[in-house]
Amino acid sequence: MKEITIALMGNPNVGKTSLFNALTGTHQYVANWPGVTVEKKTGVLKWKDYNVNVVDLPGIYTLNAKSIDEQIARDYLVNEKPDVIFNIIDGTNLRRNLYLTIQIIETGVKTVLVLNQMDEVKNLDIKIDTRELSKRLGIQVVETIATKGINVDDLMKSALTQDEKIKYMIYPMDLENEFSSIQTFIQKNENLRSFSLRWLTISLSEKDPYAMSIIEKAGLSLPDISVHDASLRIAKARYDFIDSIVKQIEIRPKEMWTLTDALDHVFTHKILGIPIFISIMWMIFEFTFSISAPLSDLLSKGFDVLGTYAHAIPGWAGSFIGDGLISGVGSVLTFVPLIFFLFFSMGILEDSGYMSRAAFLIDRIMHRFKLSGRAFIPLLLGFGCNASAIMTTRTLEGEKERLVSVLINPFATCSARLPIYVVLSAAFFGSFGGFAIFSIYLISIFVALTMAVVFNFILKNKENSPFIIEMPRYKLPTAKGLGIYTWSRGKHFLKKAGGIILGATAVVWLLSNLPPNSSIGNSFAAQIGKTISPILAPLGFDWHVTLSLIFGGVAKEVTVTTLGTFANGNIESFLPTILNPVTAYALMLFALLYIPCAATQATMKMETGSYKWPIFSVIWGLSLAYITAFVFEKIAYLVI
């Protein structure tokens, strides 16, 4: 068995993920790049007598690393030196894509150009002379339509073919002369042998910080050679080179109006754009919740039935299995449909290309709150699950903006809190239930945005993070791509939250059923609740509610199951005995604001690098929740 490592590199939106999926199928493994929370996808492919390790690198436009994604890709390329790079490019956009290609080739790693989206190329009547392209670049070129399946043999054969060394005439003579002195300097030093000469030379001439740090680490001091206007001249030279190639190999019809242009005319219309945005957001929202409801209910009923069977086991054990374990597992699994459909919807938004338009439309409003249109996405995802949404804040470029996005995310009411609203609304608000829940969502948005301004002020954020988003072509999402994405995200949530919830339910059961042979009212749980409840008494929350909130702090889903334990299964008739409509809504507000769940606190710590921020979130959230619920009740009692 021979081992070979292939890394996938390319611009965002070129179909890298489709290729990765096509190569590795279900043999994928998702982790994080060390020290950061950018996703690292690796997979395995068995081909002939090769064991192929496939690594999916983040989508980037250039190796001149300024953002985390670019740094990761560059570091991997320069330090780990994979055997082969599959450089995936979008056939309809050669010029821009080839910019990265040139940089990759300059690192000296064996590169295969994967010319993807050939179906769209054909649709647009573009003709590309692949053979000439291969000749001019000196590397193998393979045409693919990754979404329709790929020819692994072709790709692997190209990966293993030795390329003929050709000389590129990219940079003008004056630039090359300026390079040569740097080059000589590098060649003189043993310690720099492991790095690609070309890459290091050019990077040093641009005064790239990473390249300079390599020199320093090698104990050398930089030569006093400066190439004036290096970056600009290098970029220009590269594009001139690319232009000359593209002119020769590409024939495209004159500027035409594509379907994307036509759709954008309406989707970003001055007047229609926003209503369409609201419509799409609403449909996604309703679709997710409506479709998952029957499945969740079915599961819940199923577990109830299982639970009653468990009671056939006598005594303590039967109760533990029935009310503790099965009930606990049931409460986790009834959210599975919801999570899956939520991520399914997110996947559609992302893959179709509409996500960028949404960010574009909403940027002005976000900017008012000192966020960018891109921050809309983590905020939107927060409505699914705060813990995983916070992980997507990595795409934001400014440190401060990222921190603010992390801190406001818990105010986006996640799907785990939904059962709290649903149960309370069902018990108190009847046909206005849906409206009550929707109002909570609106308040959630309002609070999150307001907090963004507040946090920005507190953190004295003077940083201006620019907003450059690409508007990719509209595409029909593929079932396979969506399936893999939804499955991996859903699994991720289950793994993270599942254990905690199960554990929390077990703890709740234990505390509620000990000391043994006592009634619920005398259990340890009740004692804890009763001790703390005076604090929440002004809000009209008794010890049942207090205890549920405490347990809910660990995992929001548990709030309802705790109440359910007290209600002995009949929540709807139990709740009116401890709350009234005003306090019920106040409770909804409290649950919306009080603290991020344990999983969220964990990712907060991961993203911000310190415990300071989760702790701050807890204190801030509690205070805000208390004050808001209090004020609401006072006003409500005055009005009613």
Partner 1 sequence: MFKLMILASFGYAVLTIFMVLSRDYMDAFVALTITLIFIFGLSDVFNNKKSGIAHAMTGSIMGLIFEVYYVIALLASAFDNLINNGTFEFKPFLNFFIAMVLFIFSLYLFFHLRVEFKNKK
Partner 2 sequence: MVGIISLDICPENTRCILIESDLSDSLKSKLMSLGWLPGREIKVIRRAPFGDPTIYLVDSTEISLRQDESKMIKVEPLYPAPLSVVPKGTYVVLNFTAGKFFSDKVRNLGIEIGKEIQVLSDPSNCKILILANGKKFLIGHGMGQKILVKVV
Helix (H) or strand (E) holding 338: helix 336-352
d(CA 113, CA 95) in angstroms, rounded, equals: 14
Q: CB nearer to partner 2: give 254 or 364.
A: 364
Task: Return the residues of window 175-234 that contact partner 2 according to CB under 8 A.
Answer: 231-232
- Spatial CB neighbours of 177, under 8 Å, sequence gap ≥ 6: none
In our burial notation (b when 16+ CB lie closer than 10 A, e otherwise), range 363-387 reads beebeebbbbbbbbbbbbbbbbbbb
Q: State phi, psi for 52 to the nearest 5 degrees.
A: -100, 120
Query: Is residue 257 close enough to count as binding partner 1 by CB under 8 A?
Result: yes
Query: Is residue 471 close enough to count as binding partner 2 by CB under 8 A?
Result: yes
Residue with structure tokens 């599975």?
336
Q: Pick one of 69, 106, 264, 323: the residue that binds partner 2 (CB under 8 A).
A: 264
d(CA 102, CA 136) in angstroms, rounded, equals: 12
Q: CB nearer to partner 2: give 115 or 155.
A: 115
What is the pattern of x (binds partner 2, CB under 8 A) and - over residues 350-379?
------x---xx-xxx-x-----x------
Q: CB nearer to partner 2: give 76 or 267.
A: 267
Query: Is residue 266 close enough to count as binding partner 1 by CB under 8 A?
Result: yes
Instruction: Please answer whether residues 530 and 422 qualify as being in contact, where contact means their C-beta atoms are separated by less than 8 angstroms.
Output: no
Query: Is residue 468 close enough to count as binding partner 2 by CB under 8 A?
Result: yes
Q: CB nearer to partner 1: give 102 or 418.
A: 418
* SS3 (DSSP) at 563: helix
Q: Pick one of 263, 454, 602, 622: the residue that binds partner 1 (CB under 8 A).
A: 263
Q: Pick one of 290, 308, 464, 522: the residue that binds partner 1 (CB under 8 A).
A: 290
Q: CB nearer to partner 1: give 278 or 365.
A: 278
Query: Is residue 569 close enough to count as binding partner 1 by CB under 8 A?
Result: no
Instruction: Please answer whether residues 192 and 214 qualify as being in contact, where contact means their C-beta atoms are separated by less than 8 angstroms.
Output: yes
Could you tell me the smallest distance in angstroms from the CB atom of residue 272 to partner 2?
9
d(CA 536, CA 630) in angstroms, rounded, equals: 10
Q: Pick one of 40, 81, 136, 236: the residue that binds partner 2 (CB under 8 A).
A: 236
Helix (H) or strand (E) holding 2: strand 2-10
Could you tell me the smallest distance in angstroms from the CB atom of residue 295 to partner 1?
9
Could you tell me the smallest distance in angstroms from the CB atom of residue 306 to partner 1?
16
Q: Which of the choices partner 1, partner 2, none does residue 232 contact, using the CB cut-off of 5 to 8 A by kind?
A: partner 2
Query: Is residue 58 close enough to count as binding partner 2 by CB under 8 A?
Result: no
Size, binding site for partner 2 by CB under 8 A? 37
What amino acid is encoded at 600 in this protein? T
- Residue of 360, 445, 95 whose CA lies nearest to 252: 95
Residue with structure tokens 């004036």?
228
- Count how many Cα atoms sit within 13 Å of the Cα of residue 190 in the half-sphere of its side chain: 0
Q: Which of the choices partner 2, partner 1, none does residue 282 contact, using the CB cut-off of 5 to 8 A by kind?
A: partner 1
Q: Which of the choices partner 2, partner 1, none does residue 488 contact, using the CB cut-off of 5 to 8 A by kind?
A: none
Task: Return the residues of window 306-335 that contact partner 1 according to CB under 8 A.
Answer: none
Instruction: Please answer whether residues 369 and 480 qualify as being in contact, where contact means their C-beta atoms are separated by less than 8 angstroms.
Output: no
Query: Is residue 551 close enough to count as binding partner 2 by CB under 8 A?
Result: no
Token pair for 407: 């801190």
- Residue of 305, 294, 349, 353 whose CA lies nearest to 327: 305
Q: CB nearer to partner 2: give 106 or 323.
A: 106
Query: Is residue 287 close enough to count as binding partner 1 by CB under 8 A?
Result: yes
Q: Which of the choices partner 1, partner 2, none does residue 428 contact, using the CB cut-off of 5 to 8 A by kind?
A: none
- 3-state secondary structure labels for all residues of 589-622: HHHHHCCCCHHHHHHHHHHHCCCHHHHHHHHHHH
d(CA 82, CA 79) in angstroms, rounded, equals: 9
Could you tell me the smallest distance in angstroms from the CB atom of residue 358 to partner 2?
11
Q: Which of the choices partner 2, partner 1, none does residue 283 contact, using the CB cut-off of 5 to 8 A by kind?
A: partner 1
Q: Pick one of 256, 312, 468, 640: the residue that binds partner 1 (CB under 8 A).
A: 256
Query: Is residue 92 close enough to count as binding partner 2 by CB under 8 A?
Result: yes
Residues lying near partner 1 in the complex (CB under 8 A): 256-257, 259, 261-263, 265-267, 269, 271-272, 275-276, 278-279, 282-283, 286-287, 290-291, 293-294, 297-298, 301
